[in-house]
Amino acid sequence: MLWLRALQDFVYCESQIAENVCKGNGWLYKMLDTALSLSPRFRIVAATGGVALSVLISDIEGASKIFDKAVESFPNDWQILYYAAYHAIYEEKNKEKAAGYLVRAARNGGKDWFYSLAVRLYTDAGQRELGLSVYKDLKDSKINPGLLDRMSQKLGLPKEQ
Protein backbone atom coordinates (compact mmCIF):
# COMPACT_ATOMS: atom_id res chain seq x y z
CA MET A 1 0.00 0.00 0.00
CA LEU A 2 2.88 2.37 0.75
CA TRP A 3 4.24 1.77 -2.74
CA LEU A 4 0.89 2.52 -4.35
CA ARG A 5 0.56 5.67 -2.28
CA ALA A 6 4.09 6.79 -3.18
CA LEU A 7 3.41 6.25 -6.90
CA GLN A 8 0.57 8.74 -6.76
CA ASP A 9 2.89 11.51 -5.61
CA PHE A 10 6.29 10.55 -7.00
CA VAL A 11 7.08 14.20 -7.73
CA TYR A 12 5.74 15.63 -4.48
CA CYS A 13 8.19 17.93 -2.71
CA GLU A 14 7.03 19.00 0.73
CA SER A 15 9.84 21.49 1.33
CA GLN A 16 11.68 23.00 -1.62
CA ILE A 17 15.08 24.51 -0.73
CA ALA A 18 15.98 25.69 -4.25
CA GLU A 19 14.52 25.47 -7.72
CA ASN A 20 14.04 21.75 -8.46
CA VAL A 21 15.72 20.76 -5.17
CA CYS A 22 13.82 19.29 -2.22
CA LYS A 23 14.85 19.14 1.39
CA GLY A 24 16.51 15.79 2.05
CA ASN A 25 14.69 12.85 3.58
CA GLY A 26 11.27 14.22 2.77
CA TRP A 27 7.88 12.59 2.35
CA LEU A 28 8.71 10.42 -0.67
CA TYR A 29 11.92 9.20 0.96
CA LYS A 30 10.00 8.23 4.11
CA MET A 31 7.42 6.31 2.09
CA LEU A 32 10.04 4.43 0.06
CA ASP A 33 12.26 3.77 3.06
CA THR A 34 9.34 2.35 5.05
CA ALA A 35 8.25 0.19 2.10
CA LEU A 36 11.79 -1.22 1.78
CA SER A 37 12.09 -1.73 5.53
CA LEU A 38 8.84 -3.70 5.60
CA SER A 39 9.60 -5.59 2.41
CA PRO A 40 13.35 -5.55 1.63
CA ARG A 41 12.93 -7.85 -1.39
CA PHE A 42 10.39 -5.57 -3.12
CA ARG A 43 12.57 -5.07 -6.18
CA ILE A 44 10.59 -2.36 -7.98
CA VAL A 45 10.94 -0.08 -4.95
CA ALA A 46 14.65 -0.84 -4.70
CA ALA A 47 15.25 -0.36 -8.43
CA THR A 48 13.26 2.85 -8.91
CA GLY A 49 13.09 4.55 -5.53
CA GLY A 50 16.57 6.02 -5.53
CA VAL A 51 16.24 7.13 -9.14
CA ALA A 52 12.93 8.86 -8.39
CA LEU A 53 14.36 10.66 -5.38
CA SER A 54 17.48 11.74 -7.25
CA VAL A 55 16.08 12.66 -10.64
CA LEU A 56 12.49 13.72 -9.99
CA ILE A 57 12.81 15.75 -6.79
CA SER A 58 16.57 16.04 -6.21
CA ASP A 59 16.50 14.52 -2.72
CA ILE A 60 20.12 13.43 -3.03
CA GLU A 61 20.50 12.48 0.63
CA GLY A 62 17.37 10.33 0.60
CA ALA A 63 18.34 8.75 -2.71
CA SER A 64 21.75 7.78 -1.33
CA LYS A 65 20.10 6.00 1.60
CA ILE A 66 17.64 4.17 -0.64
CA PHE A 67 20.42 3.10 -3.02
CA ASP A 68 22.48 1.79 -0.08
CA LYS A 69 19.47 -0.17 1.15
CA ALA A 70 18.73 -1.46 -2.36
CA VAL A 71 22.30 -2.69 -2.86
CA GLU A 72 22.15 -4.42 0.52
CA SER A 73 18.91 -6.18 -0.42
CA PHE A 74 19.99 -6.98 -3.99
CA PRO A 75 23.79 -7.37 -3.86
CA ASN A 76 23.99 -9.19 -7.20
CA ASP A 77 21.49 -7.20 -9.26
CA TRP A 78 23.61 -5.52 -11.90
CA GLN A 79 20.99 -2.93 -12.81
CA ILE A 80 20.55 -1.73 -9.23
CA LEU A 81 24.33 -1.68 -8.80
CA TYR A 82 24.69 0.35 -12.00
CA TYR A 83 22.05 2.89 -10.90
CA ALA A 84 23.74 3.16 -7.50
CA ALA A 85 27.12 3.65 -9.20
CA TYR A 86 25.74 6.43 -11.37
CA HIS A 87 24.32 8.14 -8.30
CA ALA A 88 27.60 7.74 -6.42
CA ILE A 89 29.56 9.31 -9.30
CA TYR A 90 27.37 12.27 -10.12
CA GLU A 91 25.50 13.09 -6.93
CA GLU A 92 27.68 11.84 -4.07
CA LYS A 93 30.95 12.58 -5.91
CA ASN A 94 32.29 9.30 -4.51
CA LYS A 95 34.35 7.71 -7.28
CA GLU A 96 35.67 4.86 -5.18
CA LYS A 97 32.18 3.76 -4.11
CA ALA A 98 30.96 4.01 -7.72
CA ALA A 99 33.89 1.96 -8.98
CA GLY A 100 33.15 -0.81 -6.49
CA TYR A 101 29.52 -0.91 -7.59
CA LEU A 102 30.54 -1.00 -11.27
CA VAL A 103 32.89 -3.95 -10.72
CA ARG A 104 30.13 -5.82 -8.89
CA ALA A 105 27.64 -4.95 -11.63
CA ALA A 106 29.98 -6.22 -14.36
CA ARG A 107 30.57 -9.47 -12.46
CA ASN A 108 26.82 -10.02 -12.22
CA GLY A 109 25.79 -9.62 -15.85
CA GLY A 110 26.47 -5.96 -16.56
CA LYS A 111 28.43 -4.66 -19.53
CA ASP A 112 32.16 -5.30 -19.82
CA TRP A 113 32.87 -1.59 -20.21
CA PHE A 114 31.83 -1.15 -16.56
CA TYR A 115 35.26 -2.58 -15.68
CA SER A 116 37.04 0.04 -17.74
CA LEU A 117 35.09 2.87 -16.12
CA ALA A 118 35.74 1.36 -12.68
CA VAL A 119 39.49 1.30 -13.34
CA ARG A 120 39.38 4.97 -14.35
CA LEU A 121 37.33 5.90 -11.30
CA TYR A 122 39.66 4.03 -8.94
CA THR A 123 42.64 5.77 -10.53
CA ASP A 124 40.95 9.20 -10.34
CA ALA A 125 40.11 8.55 -6.67
CA GLY A 126 43.77 7.86 -5.87
CA GLN A 127 43.17 4.11 -5.58
CA ARG A 128 45.35 2.97 -8.50
CA GLU A 129 46.11 -0.34 -6.75
CA LEU A 130 42.41 -1.25 -6.73
CA GLY A 131 42.22 -0.43 -10.45
CA LEU A 132 45.33 -2.52 -11.07
CA SER A 133 43.75 -5.40 -9.15
CA VAL A 134 40.67 -5.27 -11.39
CA TYR A 135 42.90 -5.22 -14.48
CA LYS A 136 44.98 -8.18 -13.29
CA ASP A 137 41.85 -10.20 -12.47
CA LEU A 138 40.59 -9.66 -16.03
CA LYS A 139 43.86 -10.06 -17.90
CA ASP A 140 43.51 -13.81 -18.40
CA SER A 141 39.76 -13.73 -18.98
CA LYS A 142 37.88 -13.69 -22.26
CA ILE A 143 37.13 -9.98 -22.00
CA ASN A 144 37.49 -7.77 -25.07
CA PRO A 145 41.22 -7.06 -25.62
CA GLY A 146 40.37 -3.47 -26.57
CA LEU A 147 38.91 -2.91 -23.10
CA LEU A 148 42.03 -4.36 -21.53
CA ASP A 149 44.14 -1.96 -23.62
CA ARG A 150 42.07 1.02 -22.43
CA MET A 151 42.38 -0.13 -18.82
CA SER A 152 46.12 -0.50 -19.27
CA GLN A 153 46.36 3.05 -20.64
CA LYS A 154 44.29 4.45 -17.76
CA LEU A 155 46.63 2.72 -15.34
CA GLY A 156 49.72 4.04 -17.17
CA LEU A 157 51.08 0.55 -17.82
CA PRO A 158 53.68 0.03 -20.54
CA LYS A 159 52.44 -1.44 -23.83
CA GLU A 160 52.87 -5.18 -24.12
CA GLN A 161 54.67 -6.60 -27.11
C-alpha to C-alpha distance for 154 and 61, rounded to whole angstroms: 31
pLDDT, one tens digit per residue, over 91-141 is 999 999 999 999 999 999 999 999 999 999 999 999 999 999 999 999 888
Coil, helix or strand for 92? coil
| pLDDT at residue number 11 | 64
Cα dihedral 67, 46, 85, 107, rounded to 10, equals 130
pTM value?
Answer: 0.85
| pLDDT at residue number 161 | 39
Residue type, 45: V
Going by C-beta distance under 8 Å and a sequence separation of 6 or more, which residues neighbour residue 37?
69
Whether the predicted pLDDT of 2 surpasses 90: no
Q: What are the backbone dihedrals phi and psi of residue 151, each rounded to the nearest 5 degrees, phi first? A: -65, -40
C-alpha to C-alpha distance for 49 and 46, rounded to whole angstroms: 6
C-alpha to C-alpha distance for 37 and 8, rounded to whole angstroms: 20
The mean predicted confidence, pLDDT, of the chain is 89
pLDDT, one tens digit per residue, over 9-65 is 666 667 677 666 666 667 789 989 999 999 999 999 999 999 999 988 889 999 999
